[in-house]
Amino acid sequence: MSGSKRICSSEEITYYPQVSPVIIVLVSDGAHCLLARQKLFPPGMYSALAGFCDIGETVEDSVQREVAEEVGLNVSSLEYSASQHWPFPNSSLMIACHAMVQPGQNKIDLNHSELEAARWFDAKELTEALKRKRMPTKKEMGDVPFWIPPPWAVAHQLIKEWTESQQPS
């Protein structure tokens, strides 16, 4: 058998670590995308919405529920993008998606128990954020209105994909 496991040497029982599925979703209204921040995030960082999948939920159900719970929006369509293992703290499998809300249906109703802030960003703002190669220092934060997760994070990939899709062909 393959995969991660630990075998108890005294009882010869094989244990397999649990992996928790998590959706991470970049919501768009067509002209803007929604980024949010949790209180635990470093100052100024905004990212895509994320949340654990409940038992028995599909990815689609989880996206619908999380977006509705966190920002009060109804998702009208969804597209899978990528996945990423996120080992700490829960050994999660991040399932990254793009979601759309209907144009004009973009009024945010923020769940303050889950998020500190959420707002719509346009492609110009995100193009500038993508040029930043690292987290700003405290001294630089006055000159940087916000920043996004680093390039190795799947949230960064979602933001980059959306921003590139907004460029004229």
* C-beta atoms surrounding 112 within 10 Å: 8
Token output for 123: 């492609």
Confidence band (pLDDT; 50, 70, 90) for 4? confident
Q: What percent of the chain has pLDDT over 70?
A: 90
Q: How far apart are CA 69 and CA 71, in angstroms?
A: 6
Question: What domain count does the chain have?
Answer: 1
Mean pLDDT of 22-26: 97
Residue 24 lies in a domain: yes
Residue 13 lies in a domain: no
Task: Quote the pTM value.
Answer: 0.87
Mean pLDDT of 152-163: 96
Residue 121 lies in a domain: yes
Q: Which domain holds residue 72?
A: 18-165
Residue 10 lies in a domain: no
Residue 59 lies in a domain: yes
Residue 110 lies in a domain: yes
CATH number of the structural domain spanning residue 131? 3.90.79.10
Span 93-150, pLDDT tens digits: 999 999 999 888 999 999 999 999 999 999 999 999 998 876 666 666 666 678 899 9
Per-chain mean pLDDT for the chain: 89
- Burial call 67-103: b when 16+ CB within 10 Å, e when fewer: beebbebebeebeebeebebeeeeebebbbbbbbbee
